[in-house]
Amino acid sequence: MPYLLLRGVLHTASACIFLLLTACAEAPAQSLSTAPTPAPAPTATAIPSPVIAAISRPLLSFEEWRSLLRSDAIAAGIDAELFDRTFAGITLDPKIIAADNSQPEFTRPVWEYIDGAVSVSRVAQGRLLKAQHRPTLKAIRSTYAVDHEVLIAIWGMESNYGSNIGSHNVIRSLATLAYDGRRQVFWRSQLLAALQILQAGDGPAQGLIGSWAGAMGQTQFMPTTFSQHAVDFDGDGRRDLWSSAPDALASAAHYLQASGWDNGQPWGFEVNLPQGFDYALADPEVRRSLAQWRALGVNPVRAIDANEQNLATLFLPAGHRGPAFLLLNNFRSILKYNNSTSYALAIGLLSDALDGNPGVQAAWPRNDRQLGRSERIELQELLTRKGYELGPADGIIGANTRKAVRAFQQTLGQPADGYPTQELLVRLRASL
């Protein structure tokens, strides 16, 4: 699901007072991670905040907070009657705060995530829908220069082709998060954007329905993303991502176009690595042309039609014992939709399957047990104690953690693939 910051929302004096009173500090953006997202969940870029440290509970009552929000919404152009009608009967939802504060272990292996994402049934249904919507998809490609398959893949991953768009009242969810969530500035911007959607008449008659985090429609757009990238492609005068597949697909295409999608080029592809390969090159900071990778003996598993001068990075989602992929610019565009490499890999592989291409050829190390969140935090803490600089121990295996893991693997004489394992954690414990 894509997340963008709201631009152009007016910040009035009362907004500043509200921020200082609630003293809400914005959380940093999530690091690039291979952890699969278990459901539509926020991975948005954080809004810089000038305010000081967060407190555990708001100082304002919900009614006082809503009164300040009303003033700011009206100053931002929201009709007072619409605001009052929309917020009539809105109460806080404790289940939303519980979901926002949850800390899942994320122990599901990437191969299980891929298995579910690229299931036989999802591929079969996607191919059927691709044929059914071919005229619309051609028109979308002509307008936005985005390939059919990636749009169908996003549609399938985000809402199971429109069959699961969520059941939460988006206004209630966002109001709860903006009042008492961990990133109140971000959620408040989403709430104001949702009110703008209602004022424009784009939402369904029954109100805005979506995920617990406020993602909406068949392609699960956050309100600020909707404001910037949702389009009326079926020409009915409304940007309807809930019940209009043409609007939903075209809006996703518009988003990918703005994210730098290179039409006709692959997202990436599986490769074979030569004996004695330097696995330390599987680093997102190492970008080489396809021709340069070929010169190192890195070759596609199947024939690929791609510009040899395109830059690519090598990706080992399960370490040196699992499949290897070269990732191109379009993979980065998918990451802007959802900043999880597992998600982007699933979208790429599903789009390949929809185009009739075979799945992953190399075997996954399915007997490996994944590190739990507490173990990942311990790994990070131990690496920090050994002098590696990787930031706070948050349990997210991002670029800095992988860099530190590579460095430690090199001291052990192991393949420096940056992939944390149980065996590596044991060796790390013993080294201190």
Q: What is the pLDDT of residues 210-233, one digit of tens each?
A: 999 999 999 999 999 999 999 999
- 394-429 per-position pLDDT tens digit: 998 888 999 999 999 999 999 999 999 999 999 999
pLDDT of residue 52 exceeding 90, the answer is no
Please tell me the predicted confidence (pLDDT) of residue 45.
33
Q: Tell which wins on pLDDT, 5 or 251.
A: 251
Amino acid at 311: L
Please tell me the predicted confidence (pLDDT) of residue 198.
96
Please provide the DSSP assignment of 114-164 as one string: HHHHT-HHHHHHHHHHHHHTHHHHHHHHHHH---HHHHHHHHHHHHTTTT-
In a domain, 122, yes or no: no
Residues 245 and 310 in one domain: no
Residues 337 and 426 in one domain: no
Please tell me the predicted confidence (pLDDT) of residue 32.
40
As a whole number, mean pLDDT of residues 350-379 equals 95
Residues 241 and 181 in one domain: yes
Please tell me the predicted confidence (pLDDT) of residue 359.
93
Question: How far is C-alpha 416 from the chain's CA centre?
Answer: 27
Q: Is 387 exposed, middle or buried (0-12, 13-18, 19+ CB in 10 A)?
A: exposed
Residues 35 and 62 in one domain: yes
As a whole number, mean pLDDT of residues 302-311 equals 93
CB 420 within 8 A of CB 403: no
CB 37 within 8 A of CB 340: yes
As a whole number, mean pLDDT of residues 6-20 equals 36
Find the radius of gyration of the CA atoms of the chain.
23
Range of lowest pLDDT (11-25, 64-78, 153-167): 11-25
Residues 279 and 425 in one domain: no
Please tell me the predicted confidence (pLDDT) of residue 105.
57
Range of lowest pLDDT (68-82, 99-113, 147-161, 176-190): 99-113
Residues 67 and 187 in one domain: yes
Beta-carbon contacts of residue 106 (< 8 Å; ≥ 6 apart): 35, 36, 38, 373, 395
Residues 303 and 424 in one domain: no
CB 225 within 8 A of CB 4: yes
Range(s) of the domain holding residue 316: 268-354
Residues 90 and 182 in one domain: yes
Please tell me the predicted confidence (pLDDT) of residue 59.
80
Res. 58 pLDDT band, cuts 50 70 90: low
Cα–Cα distance between 212 and 366 in angstroms, integer? 32
Q: Which helix (H) or strand (E) holds 84?
A: helix 80-87
Cα–Cα distance between 103 and 256 in angstroms, integer? 30
Res. 104 pLDDT band, cuts 50 70 90: low
Residues 74 and 172 in one domain: yes
Residues 201 and 249 in one domain: yes
The model carries a pTM of 0.85
Residues 381 and 239 in one domain: no
At 105, give phi and psi (nearest 5°).
-75, -25
What does the DSSP 8-state code read for residue 251? Answer: H
Please tell me the predicted confidence (pLDDT) of residue 321.
95
At 269, give phi and psi (nearest 5°).
-165, 155
Pick the closest to residue 187 from 83, 89, 90, 49 (CA basis): 49
Cα–Cα distance between 54 and 30 in angstroms, integer? 18
Please measure the distance between the N-terminal and C-terminal CA atoms of the chain and give it in whole angstroms.
41
Range of lowest pLDDT (44-53, 58-67, 143-152, 416-425): 44-53
In a domain, 3, yes or no: no
**Total tally of structural domains belonging to the chain:** 3
Please tell me the predicted confidence (pLDDT) of residue 36.
47
Res. 106 pLDDT band, cuts 50 70 90: low
Question: How far is C-alpha 195 from the chain's CA centre?
Answer: 23
CATH code of 33's domain: 1.10.8.350
Count of alpha carbons within 13 Å of 98, Cβ hemisphere only? 3
